[in-house]
């Protein structure tokens, strides 16, 4: 029986990479009855899918994303996509992130580092990475009064909905509550920034200079998207990068002394981890590759996490190596028209938080090797840290 035929989300959750390796070797274009879609696993094929929206459209009919959050921009193409993206991207451009948000990110990282410095042991995720990423996101979005706990719940609800291939009604109920709560918060923020514009994403959407202004419902939908991906990606990557640096003291010293090495370590973290592991597409037309024919209307997952571990592209792909020459080619942020809007904010979070944390807590180390979990969104659920002598060597997962 083909490898992918009976695959489910549960099969992939603990560690998808052994399965991805088999798919790349034996079934690079594989149909899954369990997921109800095609799986594309090799690097060159994932790039092809992303670069040909006329064949593989971003809008999936009756998609899990639309049912969970509404019509988010990453599930649109053409003029619809351009309208939504142009209304959102101002505060998230590289220059604006550096000018408007970098100082605040550094200040918040210092506050959190001071708090964890008082603890001989702490959880890197719960005590630092998650609150740092949550508050960075909420301040940038324009919802500064939302708690970290609320962001964690909303994001978890949306992610569960995005992976609800089993159509679990409990998952839909949780996602529905989160959807309504975010909508109410956004409506209040719209009222505030309508009369008092600021540098936030919600304000940018309200005051966007476009022919057809965004509705309150459309604005709320894009904020839900930010909460789903814009929270998990940086905290997963932040926790993973600190973990890897603590396991490799020479690399930590290098990163702390050289900003270029830090930037390379951030990119390698995104490749090795790939926090957002796949992007959905739907066939706009029939398409044949080799002896496989995909039909118009078929759904598809381009597996970015698999592409980023493809042996044909990256030598020794399971090793964390910041010196690999093709590192800039990773697909953690997608490509082309759907290149991740939050990429500069995510990178800036790591550029500010990692040096602050490591400088504030010399001798920091991982108490025990953490487990990575997830496949659509992947990262460590916790990372137990200690301050003091000795360390535990971990292994790539």
Residue 161 has pLDDT above 80, yes or no: yes
> How much is the pTM?
0.92
Residue 394 has pLDDT above 80, yes or no: no
| Contacts with 393 (C-beta within 8 Å, 6 or more apart), sequence order | 247, 369
| Contacts with 128 (C-beta within 8 Å, 6 or more apart), sequence order | 112, 113, 116, 122, 238, 353, 357
Average pLDDT, integer, range 205-225: 95
Q: What is the DSSP string of 194-227?
A: HHS--SSHHHHHHT---SSPPPHHHHHHHHHHHH
Average pLDDT, integer, range 245-273: 96
Per domain, the residue ranges of the chain are 9-387
The pLDDT, as a whole number, for residue 1 is: 57
Residue 127 has pLDDT above 90, yes or no: yes
If pLDDT is split at 50, 70 and 90, which confidence band does 389 have? Answer: low
- Contact indicator for 51, 35 with CB cutoff of 8 Å: no
Residue 396 has pLDDT above 70, yes or no: no
| Contacts with 272 (C-beta within 8 Å, 6 or more apart), sequence order | 240, 308, 309, 318, 320, 396
Looking at domain 9-387, what is its CATH homologous superfamily? Answer: Cytochrome P450 (1.10.630.10)
Average pLDDT, integer, range 305-311: 98
Q: What is the DSSP string of 220-279?
A: HHHHHHHHHHHHHHHHHHHHHHHHHHHH-HHHHHHHHH-HHHHHHHHHHHHHHH-SB--E
Question: How far apart, in whole angstroms, are the C-alpha atoms of residue 97 and residue 94?
Answer: 5
Question: How far apart, in whole angstroms, are the C-alpha atoms of residue 309 and residue 315?
Answer: 9
Please state at what angle helix 343-360 crosses helix 259-273, rounded to 10 degrees.
120
């Amino acid at each position: 029986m083909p490898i992918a035929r009976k695959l489910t989300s549960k099969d992939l959750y603990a560690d998808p990479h052994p399965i991805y390796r088999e798919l790349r070797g034996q079934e690079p274009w594989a149909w899954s009855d369990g997921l109800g879609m095609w799986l594309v696993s090799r690097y060159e094929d994932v790039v092809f899918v992303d670069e040909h929206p006329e064949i593989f459209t971003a809008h999936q009919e009756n998609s899990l994303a639309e049912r969970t959050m509404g019509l988010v921009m990453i599930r649109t193409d053409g003029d619809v996509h351009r309208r939504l993206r142009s209304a959102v991207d101002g505060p998230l451009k590289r220059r604006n992130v550096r000018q408007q948000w970098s100082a605040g990110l550094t200040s918040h990282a210092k506050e959190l580092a001071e708090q964890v410095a008082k603890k001989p042991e702490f959880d890197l995720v719960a005590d630092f990475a998650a609150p740092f990423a949550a508050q960075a996101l909420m301040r940038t979005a324009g919802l500064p009064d939302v708690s970290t706990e609320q962001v964690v719940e909303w994001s978890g609800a949306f992610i569960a909905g995005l992976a609800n291939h089993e159509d679990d009604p409990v998952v839909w109920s949780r996602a529905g509550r989160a959807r309504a709560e975010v909508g109410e918060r956004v409506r209040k923020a719209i009222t505030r920034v309508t009369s008092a514009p600021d540098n936030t994403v919600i304000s940018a959407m309200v005051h966007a200079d476009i022919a057809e202004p965004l509705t309150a419902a459309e604005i709320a939908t894009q904020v839900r998207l930010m909460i789903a991906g814009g929270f998990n990606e940086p905290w997963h990557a932040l926790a993973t990068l600190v973990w890897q640096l603590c396991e490799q003291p020479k690399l930590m010293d290098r990163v702390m002394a050289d900003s270029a090495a830090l930037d390379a370590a951030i990119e390698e973290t995104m490749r090795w981890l790939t926090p957002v592991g796949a992007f959905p597409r739907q066939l706009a037309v029939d398409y044949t590759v080799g002896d496989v024919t995909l039909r118009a209307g078929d759904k598809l997952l381009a597996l970015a996490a698999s592409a980023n571990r493809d042996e044909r592209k990256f030598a020794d792909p399971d090793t964390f190596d910041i010196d690999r020459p093709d590192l800039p080619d990773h697909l953690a942020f997608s490509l082309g028209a759907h290149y991740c809007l939050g990429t500069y904010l995510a990178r800036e979070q790591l550029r500010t938080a990692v040096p602050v944390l490591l400088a504030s807590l010399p001798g920091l180390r991982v108490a025990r090797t953490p487990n990575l979990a997830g496949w659509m969104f992947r990262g460590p659920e916790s990372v137990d840290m200690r301050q003091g002598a000795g360390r535990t060597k971990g292994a790539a997962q």
